[in-house]
Chains A and B, each alone.
Chain A
Amino acid sequence: MGVAIRVIPCLDVDAGRVVKGVNFENLRDAGDPVELARRYGEAGADELTFLDVSASAAGRETTYEVVRKTAEQVFIPLTVGGGVRAVEDVDRLLREGADKVGVNTAAISRPDLISEIAERFGSQVLVLSLDARRCREGTETSSGYEVTTHGGRKGTGIDVIEWAERGQVLGAGEILLNSMDADGTTSGFDLAMIRDVRAVVSIPLIASGGAGTTGHFVEAVRAGADAVLAASVFHFGALRIDEVKKAMREAGLSVR
């Protein structure tokens, strides 16, 4: 039996509004994260992820409100990432109703943040988010992949595989591996990178970046992902969650 492969839509939220458009029929308000969350829940999403891209403190306050309203209406797990810098941010998000919190840049500049969060709230709340890419000329890491920050614009020279391994040791409960090279291409996940990370971590691995067809999701799972995350293919209606699950089921994978 065991757990089913999770399919997770991700919504970018800026000051309480969904940034990239979403193409659902009969939506009253395509920019309302709460309504979209509910629709995705009804459509069979196994979890939801909000990525807060707000630049201002006021924008972040609005996001907290969105998290609260979503948690009150949608009874599936909710992960919130983006701008989480301190234990207090995690505390606030969990209190508002998030089940898990994604940590990215702040953990790179201060890895101890991972263990602080895990000790206070348990590993299961902490998703270590890795924006990873193949090394550009002039940068070298032992695996050939490096961690980036600022939405993939800045390289750090940190080895993706080593960072994933270290994140697990420090107490991360899950890894979100986002390929910045594949992101937005709809030409498939970076399967080699998924395999390499899978080989070193025994916590759940979420693959993200590059999904374009239902077959891509199946490939990512076969490469070692426990869950698959996508944004635009779902939002723009290119794929529906039930189509992805049907393809997985036909491929012999366990889905809900």
Chain B
Amino acid sequence: MASPLICVLDYGFGNVRSAVRAVEEVGGTAVLTADQATAEGADGLIVPGVGAYAAVMEGLLAVYGDRIIEHRLAGGRAVLGVCVGLQVMFEKGIEHDIETTGLGQWPGTVEKLDAPVVPNMGWARVEAPEESRLFKGIEGERFYFVHSFAAKEFPLAPQATNRIAPPLVTWSEAGTDERPDRFVAAVENGPLSATQFHPEKSGDAGLRLLRNWLATL
């Protein structure tokens, strides 16, 4: 089988070189572009993102990232958001009292972490659901986080009567053991996945997660 074509969305935010190389390292063919046809047609789309929520949203909209993501998801084609690329999938982000509308793929708000030391910077463990495909085989590993904001809740609760698979939410904690601040570390929801940490900066564990994602394509 030919290696999957992964488009890393190039809209001026994020350490795109690392993302491209990490994809290649795990057997994907990476292309760095914001070209709409390529981004919509690739086997997988990675939406990177670092910096301010408002700036990232502005950058995304400038390359019609919202439409690209919508079109992909409507067709069941995989999207992986990373860091602020996860955050923009929520309804809104509040940074320094500025509220920015996100892509709204999921309900919920991204807000400031409540911890003695912020940014939350470094390697942390996560609690992944048993059914997770992304974390299969790497359950006990640590991943590299660097962020000051996060989604503390995931309000899209599955109903008991649902016939579709509920979103799988992986959690992590910032702060201290005595006063932890729990936040969404990753989501797997049909074709839409996202991680708050940087798989492309998380050493072997991160590469294995990317390999797991590629295996779902």
Contact = CB atoms under 8 A, between A and B. Distances in A.
Contacts, number: 106
Given A46-B122, A46-B123, A226-B122, A4 B52 contact: no
Given A6-B123, A76-B203, A256 B18 contact: no
Contact of A122 (B52, B122, B173): B52
Interface in B118-161: 118-125, 142, 144-148
Contact of A121 (B51, B175, B202): B51
A204 B119 contact: yes
Contact of A204 (B51, B121, B142, B204): B121
Contact of A77 (B146, B147, B172, B174): B146
25 contacts: A1-B180, A2-B124, A3-B174, A46-B122, A75-B18, A75-B22, A75-B201, A75-B207, A76-B201, A76-B203, A77-B201, A94-B15, A97-B18, A99-B146, A99-B201, A124-B50, A124-B119, A125-B50, A174-B119, A202-B116, A203-B118, A203-B119, A204-B117, A227-B122, A256-B123
Interface in B158-176: 172-176
Contacts of B124: 1-4
B81 interface: no
A233 interface: no
Q: Bin chain B's interface residue count.
A: 35 or more
Contacts of A5: 122
Contacts of A173: 119, 121
Contacts of B120: 2-3
Nearest to B171: A1
A interface, size bucket: 20 to 34
A72 B16 CA distance: 11
Contacts of A75: 18, 21-22, 25, 200-204, 206-207
A2 B17 contact: no
* B contacts with A: majority SS: mixed
Interface in B5-43: 15, 17-18, 21-22, 25
Contacts of B145: 3
A197 interface: no
Nearest to A46: B123
Contact of A124 (B17, B148, B172): B148
Interface of A: 1-6, 41, 46, 68, 71-73, 75-77, 94-97, 99, 121-125, 173-174, 202-205, 226-227, 256
Contact of B117 (A1, A121, A203): A203
A121 to B, nearest CB: 6
B177 interface: yes
Interface string B90-130: 00000000000000000000000001111111111100000
Interface in B162-212: 172-177, 180, 198, 200-204, 206-207
A204 B207 CA distance: 26
Contact of B122 (A3, A71, A202): A3
A71 B17 contact: yes
B21 A72 contact: yes
A224 to B, nearest CB: 10
Contacts of B50: 121-122, 124-125
Contacts of B22: 75
